[in-house]
């Protein structure tokens, strides 16, 4: 890291996409974004089935529409959250105030931990409903259902790691704020 509070030395500088792409939290956020696409895409695409004897579609997870609805809702909202925080990652080097940076990182900690929890609930819910499912005619949609469960599980770890990295960034910002309070720039020779 070059001077300043987690890149504050570069505040106001030109946008550097190479540096952005190499940051671990950005990589994890893109991976989480892809995982959310897989979850909601597989449920929307093959999560609802209809049998010839019934006129209405049913959810592949134990015929429980709430299970499919939860998976799609969490997937879509996680997708949008990833986009929002990717935009914040792009804008973050332009924030010169340490207090504003701390607010952004604190929101990242809270949101990432919240999404890790939501993915944990989603994984447990989808896995439970899949376990008690009795019918899947001709095994239609089973791969998509399993993929949604698996990527819900993987998302728990990507969001948890994102929260852990945000905690580390917060510690860096707190140290920088304390250092600049103890040693103001005007006192340096």
Question: What's the pLDDT tens digit per position in 17-71?
Answer: 888 899 999 999 999 999 999 999 999 999 888 877 778 888 899 889 999 999 9
Q: pLDDT band at 97, cuts 50/70/90?
A: confident
Helix or strand (DSSP H, E) at 171: helix 142-182
In the prediction, which pLDDT does 163 show?
96
Question: What's the pLDDT tens digit per position in 106-160?
Answer: 999 999 999 999 999 999 999 999 999 876 555 778 899 999 999 999 999 999 9
In the prediction, which pLDDT does 187 show?
47
Question: What's the pLDDT tens digit per position in 168-180?
Answer: 998 887 776 666 6
**Rounded Cα distance, 19 and 26, in Å:** 10
Residue 91 scores a pLDDT above 70: yes
Which contacts qualify for 165-168: CB closer than 8 Å, 24 or more apart?
Answer: 165/24, 165/25, 165/28, 166/25, 166/105, 166/108, 166/109, 166/112, 167/109
Q: Which two tokens stand for residue 137?
A: 């005619």
Rounded to two decimals, the pTM is 0.84
In the prediction, which pLDDT does 1 show?
42
Q: Which of 175, 167, 171, 187 is nearest to 24 (CA)?
A: 167
Residue 9 scores a pLDDT above 50: no
Which sequence spans correspond to the domains of the chain? 17-175
In the prediction, which pLDDT does 15 show?
75
In the prediction, which pLDDT does 3 show?
47
Helix or strand (DSSP H, E) at 49: strand 48-49
In the prediction, which pLDDT does 181 show?
64
| Helices 98-131, 142-182: inter-axial angle, 10-degree rounding | 160
């Amino acid at each position: 890291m070059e001077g300043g509070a987690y890149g504050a030395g570069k505040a106001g500088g030109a946008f550097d996409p190479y540096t952005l792409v190499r940051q671990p939290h950005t990589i994890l956020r893109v991976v989480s974004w892809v995982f959310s696409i897989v979850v909601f895409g597989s449920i929307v695409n093959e999560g609802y089935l209809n049998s010839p004897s019934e006129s209405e579609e049913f959810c592949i997870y134990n015929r429980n529409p709430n299970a499919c609805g939860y998976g799609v809702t969490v997937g879509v909202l996680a997708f949008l959250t990833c986009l929002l925080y990717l935009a914040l990652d792009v804008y973050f080097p332009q924030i010169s105030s340490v207090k504003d940076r701390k607010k952004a990182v604190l929101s990242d900690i809270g949101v990432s931990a919240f999404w890790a929890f939501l993915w944990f609930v989603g994984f447990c819910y989808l896995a439970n409903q899949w376990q008690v499912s009795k019918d899947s005619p001709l095994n239609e949609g089973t791969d998509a259902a399993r993929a949604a469960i698996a990527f819900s599980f993987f998302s728990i770890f990507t969001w948890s790691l994102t929260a852990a990295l945000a905690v580390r960034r917060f510690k860096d910002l707190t140290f920088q704020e304390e250092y600049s309070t103890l040693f103001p720039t005007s006192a340096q020779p």
